[in-house]
Structures are given as structure tokens and as C-alpha cells.
Structure 1
């Protein structure tokens, strides 16, 4: 064991006879308690739910087992998220020479290694539970006893028709790779990445369920996804913190402070997303008159209790953390038990039929889009329509708020920041919010031409504005370096600029390939495009890909933020010229294509104005052909200015050298010419 870790543990052990303990039993009990709550509620209080849905009773094994293992799985997901959160952000790693600028080279401490190993085992546990959920879901939805569903032929037929089973299989794959990756990762640099993918375990499940069907399902799905993400952060963070505290790990005060900020943000996000999701599903009068409403009420009451326990932490236990760490742990364990009960109650919503929709006569648009589009898009209408996008609109607002907070910190430190950079970033965030919430965003899922317009805006308009705001540089200036050996936000940002993965992705040639790849692969394969647009989840994933791919591309090409490596201006300018014909070719190809991409989905919307889908696709090709010219003006202008600066800097260096050595280079050159003349 490292000497530093030994000393820290010895000091902790001497306090009030405290002893280091593991948390395996607590984690197992939390997962089991969540499963038992879900299972018993489903078995004894929701027995008539299946009959209401017109599905035969699959038997007690499925009726109890499905919600039980689902509760276990959700707690294990939270444990994986929280453990990697601890190893990445709560527990200080071993930094060479305690030089925080070398954070990217750090190895995990003993506590960090234990946390990462716990996260890996939890993720592997999720993978096992998810595989078990596949036949349980099939048994539940088909009314077939569990043991009969295990027939391979029956499973293959049912699996192709049951989306929930497919979603659990996707979750199993993600969890497996997270678990295996965590077991092999030894350095700190991999921990933030593992934390991100552990959080991604909830995404497939968040895209499926009651919130993903019926009217306003865009609001329902997006609010549920936010809800699940912040549940994982809140519950998982507490589990990681309890484990670190019971191990008597060093730096507990720092870890508690960081988790406290996460918990505060999470409870606000959970309240907002929960209210939105509930109002979409039920009327206020249904809260006390339906099973679904009673479950929401129970979940709300438990969440309020958790908020009060969090207040106790802030007011009573955290101020006494140094003198009475046992008090903090005891209250935290009670809080975890209530969280597990809340998860168990929430799980039962998936097997409880919600009240019938307000409008029982939903048309195709309302079922597939979540809202109606009664008129074809016009130049004026798309700018006057408004339906806030809970996913990308929220991301834009959060980005602007985070940038503003960093500016406030910077001014408090007495430092200045470029107004032009602020204008660039805030304009990019505003464009993201406005475009994804106005008529353009509303028509993106309904028409190919508007989808292409949205693609171009997300990948070629918003990213240049954001990267020119230099957000990473702002973070590094707004937060000073952390205490040696205790990295903070500044040091995390510096580590990102030295990431090997980022170095690979932002290699000029690799970056160009990834930018063009997503453009071509989505539109040149008709079946893939049809699959992607058929569900709300596909639209969300595609839009994320467009935005992230564009940001990486323009970050390397024109971004002022530092990167592990960046090609010279001349090379980047040349690659821009190389990419232009490829974009033009794609646009021309789409305009000439006779196969209608996504025809089945677009036809199923039954849009009342009956658009010509082939002509609309040609318009989309024209948008792809012509739209890229405007962002390229910004790129060319920026790169040309950089090229002039580089040229001037080179000239200045040559002039300075000439002054120092009497222009020796010119004299040598003239002598060479004279020698050549004499040889003739």
C-alpha cells in the first residue's frame, strides 16, 4: 500500500476508534430492498393490472420476478455510476510529483481502485440482470409462464416483436463492456470515460415505456430520460460516498462537498422532470383515484422525505464531519434505504396501466410525433411556432448558464475575458435553443427536407459558434489550479487537453473522416435511415451525433481551445478544400436519388397536406448542397487570419535573426548563387 494511503488510514483509524469497513452488504441490501418493494407491490397490489391490459396472467414467478430484478438492476446501475463517479471525481489519484498538470498520467489510489472495481462488478451485475429481464419481459407481455418462454424458438419469435426485451439486451451489452473495461483500466484517465458509459446504461431504458407512447411523448420521453440520469447521479453518488467514507478514505470532506453540489442539482432536476412527466401522463384528479396516480403520490412523498434528509445533512452532519463521521454515515445509510424504496415504488409504474389519454382519438401524428402539424412549413411559420425541446433546449440553456457562471468566477478573480468570445458562445447556445424549439425543430421528424436543415444547423452552424467561445479556456481561467495532489475543475480541463483519445479523434485526417462518415452512413443506407427515424429515440440519438461530431470537427479546425495536437493552418485549410467537393457530391446524389428515404415512416404520419416525398427529399439534397457554404465562410476567414499571423510571425523571427547575425542566411544564399555562376 502507498505510504500516503497508509498514513491517511492510520489517522482516520485513530479517531474515536473508527474502523475501516466494506460496503458490500449495504449495497446488496439496498438492491434487494428495492427489488422486494417492487416485487411485493406488483404481486399483492397490482394483480389486476394485467387483466386490465387484456394479458393473461404469466404466473407468480414473472409477476414477482420481473419487478424484483428490475429494482435490483436499477440499484446496481446507480452503484456503477456512483463508483466510477467516486474514482473519477471524488477520490484523488496518485499524481506523479503531485503535479496536477500531470493528472492525465495519474494512477488510481487504493481507494480509487476499490471504487473502480466495485463499479465494474456492479456493471457486470446489471448485464446479468438485463439478460434475465429479456425472458421475463417476454413472459409478462405474452402471458406465457416463464419456463415456457425459455423455449429458443418461442424466444426468437417474441424477441423480434417486443421492443422492451430488445432494449434490455442493448443495456446488457453496454453494461458488459463497462464492466470489462473497468476491470482492465488501471489509470485515472479511463475513469471519467467509464463514468460516462455507466451513465449511458439508462438511456435505452429511458427511451422506452409509458412516456415513449401516446400524445406528447416527446415531452414524456425527454423528461423521463433527464429524470433517470439525475436519479443515477443522486443515488449512485451517495452509494459511492458511503463506500468511500466506510473505507475511511482520505479527502472525505472534499468528496462530500462535491457530492453535495451534485445532490442539490439532482433534486431540482428530479422535481422539474417528475412534474412534467406526471402532468403528461395523468390529470390531477387521477392522483388519488387511480393506481398509477397513487404510485406517483407515494414516489413524490418519498422524494420529499429524501429532500428533508438532504437538508439534515447540510445543517447537521456535514458541519460535524471532522468530529463525528459516524453520524454522517448513519444518516447516509438511512437516506440510501429510502432511495431504494423510492426506486422500488417507481419500478411498479412500468407494470401499471396509466389512465386513458385525455383524447382517446389520437391520430398518427400525435402517436408518432407527440403533436400535430396541420400546415406545411413556411418561412414565417417556422419562426413563429414554438414547442420547447426538453432535450436540446435544456442543453442550450444549461450551456449558457454554465458559461455565465464561469464568467462570474473569472470576474471575481479580477481577470478579463473577450466579449467576442462570449458573443460567439451565447449565440451558439441561443441558436440551439431557438432552432430546436421553433418550427424547424418541430418539423425535423416529419419531413426529410427539415431533417436535413436541422442536421446542417446542428453539425455546421451551432458548433462553430460554440467552439469560437473557447469554453475550455474559460474554465481553465475561471478556476485556478487545485491544491497539489487534489485536482479540481481546472486540472480536469487541463487533463482533457492532453487526452490520448482526444488526440486520436482530433487528428486532422481522422477528424475529417468522422465528420463525413456520419453524414454519408446515415443517408446512403435507406434501411438504416428508416430504422433511425421510426422512433423518438432515433431522432434524439441522431441529433446528438450531429452536434457532437460537428463540435469535434470545428474544435480541431478553428477552435481557440487547446488540443493535444493540432495541424498547421495550411493543412487544416487544405482539408477544408478537400471536404467541400464531398459535401457537394452528397447533396447532388440526394437530389438525384429515386429511392425515398424513410418512405414508410413519413407516409404513416398521414400529414394532412400530403407532401410529395420525393420532391421534399430533393429539397433536402439541395439544402445539404448549399447550406455548408455559410459556415465555411467563418472557417475560411478564421484559418486565413491564422495563416497570415503565422506568416507574419515567421517573418518577424527571420528579421530578428537577420539583425542578430547580420543577415547571414541572405549572405550564404548570395554566395551560393555566385559559386554557381563561377562554375558556369
Structure 2
């Protein structure tokens, strides 16, 4: 990874920003009743955190640059020279990231315990077990090491895209376990940062990769690479500013409007918002250096914000429910509360809205050029998006985090109902018909890569779809996951994706990597459904409360008997699986009938023309046998 003068200036600006914040803020720990680990430890943690964040963003963004910005060969098999260079940049950055994240494990433990780094190192095991942020940095270090090793050996387009998954997990882990995970409204702040961090990483890392690209001979500042970069990163900047504003408003609170925290936050957001203005005024090449220095200051400001105490923490002491959930549930889930008590889920709820809008725009473009698209598919997709929106953002979503029965309503809706509707919408088929050649090749390559074939293997899909029920609820995993908002979100995403993959194989409109005959699809469905029914029956007869400590911590007075509520959830799991299965069976039988009619029509046409594929194959076999005898 080539380092030039502008990169050095940006790095120096980040380090200077962190240094000023650490020494200007003074003892930020006393206000929380914690001991101060010392300026040296605080400064070291700030610098290491800045280095880790910068390297992580370069790794993520360089992978995105190689996959979606640099033109690739038509068949998407091997990376081009420029894409390979960006992947190597990502590998080098990931190695630096892994080293910095490893150091951050010790320094974050020292910061949390109010001890020096040397003392924290001696008691590292106990401190890691007692605090969450060091665990997050361990996760980040492992993800970075995986990306560093994997990206260095990557030669194909699909693998460069797949490495974005652990890279994104690693860059998110320390953030969602930090300040945003605490206090009232932490669910909103965490959701906002889930958008904010990947968007910032793609923007900043792509900027570094683009500068390296333009410094190579034979490249132009006006070619397709620069245009793709500006199109991609403009959306990233918009997401960064909007999501950062939401998370910043939650952490600043009403009493922090004139605090240094808000000043630093506004500096960061203003720097980010100024980038599109610079691009519009100065053109393509000139603002790249200025943009790199600006994002360096933004990274330093972000690290400085993590050192300061959010002003919202001093507004009032949060209740136990606000501490765990981010909000309170003072009343039982009446019909009015379920219908009117909305709290938008900025990940799944907003994601469902975005997917619905994108789908409608794609259908409109398809019809505008004269091509048709079945109305039933559009209705199915929009209905599936509506289910996701309602069960995550309405009163159902609010109460799902507090009671087991409502959680099971959301679980079954995300796992059984929404996926059935979404796979009937055929989003991949629509994308292949609407997208231009480049993105169309991306979709086709991802649908048929080895990872997709593995995930879509019937045995893997069925085991994941059913087995996760038993592993999650009949172990300590569910109780541990419900304590953290990010884990709750990950659980919901797993429900949705595992259901989507399974029903994709059974009734999906899009062609799966492994196509099954209709009889095998019906057998796969009927082999899985009894396990759903058994799960509900087991819950209804279970004698111990699942995640009892979590639910008793909430202290919901209108849930006097947790075991009764759990058994109600088991009844919901048993009963609500029947309707989606009926829809799936009807859809599968209809698809089977349509396929038989098409085969019959094809056979009749072949007979009318005097050509029979089966007779021709039989004659060819006889001819081959005759040739062998001679």
C-alpha cells in the first residue's frame, strides 16, 4: 500500500485530533464514578483505536473498490490487475488492523477498569470476561486476521466480495459494543451505527484505493472507475451524515447542546457533508487530496467522541427497561398499543422500506421499456416487506423484545411468513432483467458461486432452518442474545435469511444454485414441518423459564407468570406455522402444474414436427452400442 504525502497529512490530522481531545477533556472518568487509567493509557488507546479504525475502513473500502468499482472481465472469473492491487491493499490494511485491534484488547480493558495497561495485562483474562468492549476488539482482531490471510490469497471476484462479510463484522464489533449500546434509546443509536460504519468504511477505503489507482500509469481521471467511485461514495456520504446525525442526537441528548461533545460531533458531520459540495465545485481529480485529509479529521473526531462521555448519560438515570431495551414497556400489549405504538427499526424496518421502493422502481423501469412483469410477484414482494416492517417496527416489534409470546409472533413472522412472500417476488430474476451488464454479472456470479451452492444445499438449508430453533431456545444462547440489542438484531436477521433460503429451494421464483424436482421439493417441505410442530409442543410443556434472568431483570409487572407467557409462545409457534405451510403447498402445486403444462406443450410441438427427444436419445444409445460391437 503506497503512502504519499496526503496520506501522511491525513494520519497526522487524525492523531492530532485525538491528542487534543484526550488532554482537553481532562478526567472524563470521575463523572461516572470510575477511576482514571492515566493520560498516557487514554492517549495510547485513542491512537490505537484511530489506527485500527483507519486500517479497518481501508480494508473494507478497498475490497468494495475491487468488487464494484474496477471493471472486471466479462465472465467474472479472475480479478483484473487493478482489482487485484486493491485486494492486496485490503490485505495489507487488514494485517495492520489485526495488530492494532490486538493491542486495543489490552488498552480497552485498562480503560474500562481504570488501570494502567501494564496492570490490565496482568489481569487480562478476568477483565475481558467482565467487560464487553475487550470482547468486541477480540472479535475485530480475529475478523481482521481472517481477511488479511484470505484477501492475500484471493484471485477471483466472488471471493473478494465474500471477504466483505467478515470485514464488515469486524469493523462493526467495537462500535456496537461501545457508547451506543448503553442508556435510553440505545436501540436507535445502535441501529443507526449499523448503517453508519459500513458506509463510512466503503467511502474512506474506496478513496484510498482510488488514489492508488490514479497514481498508476495508464489510468484516467475521467474513466468509468472514477464515475463508479463517485456514484457509490455519494450514497455512502448521505448515509454517513444521516445515520451519524441520528446516533449523535441520541448520545448528545437535550442537555448536551452546548457541550464539547456536540462541538466535536458537528465538526465530524460538517466535514463529511462538505465533501459533495467540494466534488460539485472542483470536479473529479482535484478534491481527492482534500477529501482524504477531511476524512482523516473525521476519523480522529470519531475516536475522540468515543473517549468523551455522552451528555445524554447525565440527563437522567435510565430505568432497568431502558437500560436493557432502550425504552420502557409500562403497559400490556393492547390492540391499540400493537397498532399505534410504532418505533421504527432502522435496520430491518427501514431496510424493508428501501427494498420495497427499489423493487417498485425496477418494475417501473421494466414496464417503461415495454417488458411485462407479473403483478402477483410485485404483490408478494411488497407484502413480504410489509410483514417485516410491521413485526419489527410496530407495537409487535416493541413488545417482542420484552415478552416471550410476542417474541414468538415476530420470530414466526420473520421465519415463516415473510420469506414465503419474498421468494415469490423473484427479486433476482427482476434484477437480472433490469440491471445493466456489469451489475447483472455480479448478481449472476453471486447466485452461482460455491458459497451460494453450499448455503442452498437442501441438507444445509433444512438443518439451519429447523435446527436453529432447538439450538437457540434450549441452550443459554437465547438468554445471552436478548441482553444485547445487536444480538437481538442478528437473531432476527438469521430468522429471515434462513427462512428465505429454505423457501427459495421449495417455491422460489428465482433459479436456485441447486434445482430440485417438484416431488423432492414437496418431500423436503414435509420432512421439515414436523420439527416445527414438535418445537411448539415442547415449549408448551416446558417446565422451566427460558431466559428467566433476562425477563426478571425487565420487571414487567403486567407479566405475572413468565412460564404461562412462555407456553403461550409455544402455542403461537405451533399454530402459526400452519397457514404459511398451506400457502407454500398451494404455491408449489401450482408451480408443479404449470411446469407439467409447459412440458406437455413442448412434447406436443416436438411430436407435431416429427422430432422426439426421447426417441432420438434412444436411437443414439443404440447406435453407440452398435459401434462398440463393431
Q: Classify 1:291/1:560 alpha carbon distance in 2 versus 1 (closer, same or farther; 3 Å).
A: same
Report which stretch shifted further, 264-273 or 129-138: 264-273
1:494 aligns with 2:444: yes
- Of residues 337, 359, 368, the one that matches 1:403 is 359
CA distance in 2: counterparts of 1:110 and 1:181, whole angstroms? 18
- Of residues 281, 289, 297, the one that matches 1:341 is 297
Q: Could you say which residue in structure 1 is the equivalent of 2:499? A: 550
- Of residues 39, 50, 58, the one that matches 2:29 is 50
Q: Classify 1:300/1:403 alpha carbon distance in 2 versus 1 (closer, same or farther; 3 Å).
A: same
Structure number, greater radius of gyration? 1
Deviation at 1:84, TM superposition (A): 0.6
1:305 aligns with 2:279: no
Spell out the pairing of 1:101-112 with structure 2 (5 A cutoff).
Answer: 102-103=75-76, 106-112=77-83
CA contact (8 A) 1:38 1:68 kept: no
Deviation at 1:77, TM superposition (A): 1.0
Deviation at 1:358, TM superposition (A): 7.1
Q: Could you say which residue in structure 1 is the equivalent of 2:87? A: 116
Q: Could you say which residue in structure 1 is the equivalent of 2:544? A: 595
CA contact (8 A) 2:537 2:570 kept: yes
- Of residues 539, 547, 565, the one that matches 2:514 is 565
Deviation at 1:38, TM superposition (A): 4.1
CA contact (8 A) 1:35 1:69 kept: no
Q: Could you say which residue in structure 2 is the equivalent of 1:207? A: 176
Deviation at 1:583, TM superposition (A): 0.9
Which of structure 1's runs of 4+ aligned residues deviate more than 6 A?
Answer: 661-665
Deviation at 1:653, TM superposition (A): 5.2
Spell out the pairing of 1:316-465 with structure 2 (5 A cutoff).
Answer: 316-318=282-284, 328=285, 330-357=286-313, 360-465=316-421
Deviation at 1:537, TM superposition (A): 1.4
Q: TM-score, normalised by structure 2?
A: 0.92
CA distance in 1: counterparts of 2:440 and 2:612, whole angstroms? 45
CA distance in 1: counterparts of 2:603 and 2:280, whole angstroms? 65
Q: Could you say which residue in structure 2 is the equivalent of 1:484? A: none
CA distance in 1: counterparts of 2:314 and 2:41, whole angstroms? 31
Q: Could you say which residue in structure 2 is the equivalent of 1:5? A: none
Q: Name the Cα RMSD after superposition.
A: 2.3
Q: Could you say which residue in structure 1 is the equivalent of 2:626? A: none
Q: Classify 1:551/1:661 alpha carbon distance in 2 versus 1 (closer, same or farther; 3 Å).
A: closer
CA contact (8 A) 2:139 2:173 kept: yes
Deviation at 1:513, TM superposition (A): 1.4
Q: TM-score, normalised by structure 1?
A: 0.86
Q: Could you say which residue in structure 2 is the equivalent of 1:254? A: 224
1:71 aligns with 2:50: yes
- Of residues 219, 224, 240, the one that matches 2:188 is 219
Deviation at 1:661, TM superposition (A): 8.0
CA distance in 2: counterparts of 1:498 and 1:662, whole angstroms? 32
CA contact (8 A) 2:88 2:152 kept: yes
Q: Could you say which residue in structure 2 is the equivalent of 1:647? A: 596
Q: Classify 1:663/1:281 alpha carbon distance in 2 versus 1 (closer, same or farther; 3 Å).
A: closer
Q: Could you say which residue in structure 2 is the equivalent of 1:518? A: 468
- Of residues 68, 85, 103, the one that matches 1:132 is 103
Deviation at 1:592, TM superposition (A): 1.1
Spell out the pairing of 1:148-163 with structure 2 (5 A cutoff).
Answer: 148-151=119-122, 154-163=123-132
Q: Could you say which residue in structure 1 is the equivalent of 2:628? A: none
Q: Could you say which residue in structure 1 is the equivalent of 2:246? A: 276
Q: Could you say which residue in structure 1 is the equivalent of 2:432? A: 476
CA distance in 2: counterparts of 1:620 and 1:202, whole angstroms? 36
Q: Could you say which residue in structure 2 is the equivalent of 1:467? A: 423
Q: Classify 1:576/1:80 alpha carbon distance in 2 versus 1 (closer, same or farther; 3 Å).
A: same
Q: Classify 1:412/1:240 alpha carbon distance in 2 versus 1 (closer, same or farther; 3 Å).
A: farther
Deviation at 1:654, TM superposition (A): 5.3
Report which stretch shifted further, 141-150 or 430-439: 141-150
Deviation at 1:173, TM superposition (A): 1.0
Please list the CA deviations of residues 226-282 of structure 1 after superposition, one character each: whole Å capped at 9, or x if unmatched. Answer: 221221122122122212111246576212222212222122222221222222222
Deviation at 1:647, TM superposition (A): 3.3
CA distance in 2: counterparts of 1:390 and 1:656, whole angstroms? 53
CA contact (8 A) 2:404 2:565 kept: yes
Deviation at 1:172, TM superposition (A): 0.8
Q: Could you say which residue in structure 1 is the equivalent of 2:627? A: none
- Of residues 286, 290, 294, the one that matches 2:263 is 294
CA distance in 2: counterparts of 1:128 and 1:617, whole angstroms? 45
CA distance in 1: counterparts of 2:435 and 2:136, whole angstroms? 41
Deviation at 1:597, TM superposition (A): 0.7
CA distance in 1: counterparts of 2:612 and 2:279, whole angstroms? 73
CA distance in 2: counterparts of 1:89 and 1:249, whole angstroms? 20
Structure 1: state its 5+ residue gaps: 1-21, 319-327, 482-487, 669-680
CA distance in 1: counterparts of 2:394 and 2:108, whole angstroms? 38
CA distance in 2: counterparts of 1:35 and 1:386, whole angstroms? 40
CA distance in 2: counterparts of 1:380 and 1:403, whole angstroms? 31
CA distance in 2: counterparts of 1:653 and 1:304, whole angstroms? 59
- Of residues 127, 136, 159, the one that matches 1:190 is 159
1:628 aligns with 2:577: yes
CA distance in 1: counterparts of 2:213 and 2:297, whole angstroms? 23
CA contact (8 A) 1:35 1:67 kept: no
CA distance in 2: counterparts of 1:629 and 1:216, whole angstroms? 36
Q: Classify 1:90/1:300 alpha carbon distance in 2 versus 1 (closer, same or farther; 3 Å).
A: closer
Deviation at 1:460, TM superposition (A): 1.0
Q: Could you say which residue in structure 1 is the equivalent of 2:19? A: 40
Deviation at 1:437, TM superposition (A): 1.0
CA distance in 1: counterparts of 2:115 and 2:346, whole angstroms? 38
CA contact (8 A) 1:506 1:566 kept: no
CA contact (8 A) 1:658 1:664 kept: no
Please list the CA deviations of residues 369-403 of structure 1 after superposition, one character each: whole Å capped at 9, or x if unmatched. Answer: 11111222234431222111111111011101211
